[in-house]
Amino acid sequence: MNWNDTGPGMGFGWLFGPPILVLVVLAIAALIKYLRKQESPMTHSINRTIPKDAIRRYQILTIALAALLSGTGYAPQAMADTTLGRGAVFSADEGDGSLSRIDLATGSVEAIALPLMPHNVDVSTAAGLVFAVGMGGMEAGEMPGMEMGGHGEGRLAVLKLDDLKAGPIAVVEAGHHPAHVVPDADASRVFVTDSESDAVLVIDLASGKTVKEITTGAYPHGQRISPDGSELYVANVEDDSVSVIDTKSLSEVARIPVGDAPVQVGFPPDGTRAYVSLRDEDKVAVIDRATRSVVATVSVGRDPIQLFVTPDGKFVYVADQGDDGNPDNRVSVIDVASNQVTATITVGMGAHGVTIGSDGRLVFVTNTKDSTVSVIDVASQTVIETIPVGKEPGGIAFADGN
């Protein structure tokens, strides 16, 4: 549009001109920015969350005014909500036997029914597979087309990342009380903590069989593989320890005392340390991997469960769940350089699982009591979105791309 055109059908640009358009756009942008900053400056706790539809109405108003002023006929439908970026987030909805897939580009949520009550979920983007573990909730015959190995109480479901609607492509036995699952680098096998058996199960995906059981401390729960892929760290809740498993020899090479009721572990990108949530101490232990010893502890909120380190290695986000009778709704943010909590962010009730997008911009937290996922903006340390998912979500995982 040439602002000097004043012929019929050219709109009102000739009357107002570009300066007015710029002022209108800047005014509305400033209003949105102001609304998003309504938080306590002292604690970074969120006092309110601006509804997504309200912000979108202001955005559409901006576009409509621009169209009116310029006469270009710009259509509001071109305004796609892509504020959460690319990729997807999966939550393990233990309360209703499903996975929820959140498409970050559109905000849509897809529910995938499973023949188990999933406690944890993980994704191998490279292999294009999604893994969920939990206690069996249905008979295998109720979901035709799947293979079921053995008659154990625990189950592992495997799904194709690009064909979730088809449901699991395989369901195999996974011990008696599976808690967490992590794949190896090429997703040829997965590691599953079996809390009842005090072991980590190594399941070969080609055969669908457990090829080895690795003894750990009592009641192994959360686990993660080190960034270099050489070691698996396993939190033993009732043993107050972390088992270190060599991923090549498939054996426990060390057991590190850490404190009361360790639940989950996390690594910074350089892999020099490991962070362990201590549920019954309301702390996070810091392990030096070279010496395999605890070198610091950090006080956090009540009953910390899962934690995750940002991709730049600067912060650790810790979900403070509280107990069943008195759930908590906060996330503690640990500054790695100082080993101090520098922010506490209010999320939903029963904060449990934590994952972070690969670009480090957003943190995703499952809220078991509210059946939601909170989305935290790292730059502002505020909740920018609350997304309803299935019942009682626990584990959570991020997948790159769409």
pLDDT value of position 18: 46
pLDDT at 8: 34
Q: Which domain holds residue 62?
A: 13-78
Note whether residue 225 is domain-resident.
no
Contact 219, 198 (CB under 8 A): yes
- Considering Cα of 96, then 99, then 102, then 103, what sign does the dihedral take? negative
Give backbone dihedrals phi and psi of 23, rounded to 5 degrees, phi first.
-65, -40
Q: Give the pLDDT confidence score for residue 84 in this predicted structure.
A: 86
Residue 58, pLDDT score = 46
218-240 as b/e, with b when 16 or more CB fall inside 10 Å? Answer: ebbbbbbbbeeeebbbbbbbebb
Determine the pLDDT at residue 85.
Answer: 87
Is 28 domain-assigned? yes
Residue 149 is assigned to a structural domain of this protein: no
Inside any domain, residue 31:
yes
Residue 264's nearest CA partner among 320, 318, 220, 306 is: 306
Residue 119 forms part of a structural domain: no
pLDDT of residue 294: 98
Q: What are residue 90's phi and psi, to 5 degrees?
A: -110, 135
Domain count, the chain: 1
Output the pLDDT for position 373: 98
Best CA proximity match to 184, nearest among 242, 129, 241, 147:
129
As averages over each run of 10 residues, the pLDDT of the chain (402 residues) reads: 32 40 52 48 35 47 42 32 80 97 95 97 96 78 38 86 96 97 95 98 96 98 97 98 98 98 98 98 98 98 98 98 96 98 98 97 98 98 97 97 55
Whole-number Å distance between alpha carbons of 118 and 155: 9
The one-character DSSP state at 401 is: -
Q: Is 67 helix (H, G, I), strand (E, B) or coil?
A: helix
Q: Would 30 be classed as within a structural domain?
A: yes
- What pLDDT is attached to residue 52? 47
Q: Is residue 42 part of a domain?
A: yes
Residue-level pLDDT at 153:
87
Residues 6+ apart with CB under 8 A from 286: 273, 274, 275, 276, 294, 295, 296, 297, 298, 339
Has residue 251 been placed in a domain? no
Q: φ and ψ at 116, to 5 degrees? A: -160, 170
Residue 127 contacts residue 190 (beta carbons within 8 Å): no
Six-digit token string for 21: 């358009």
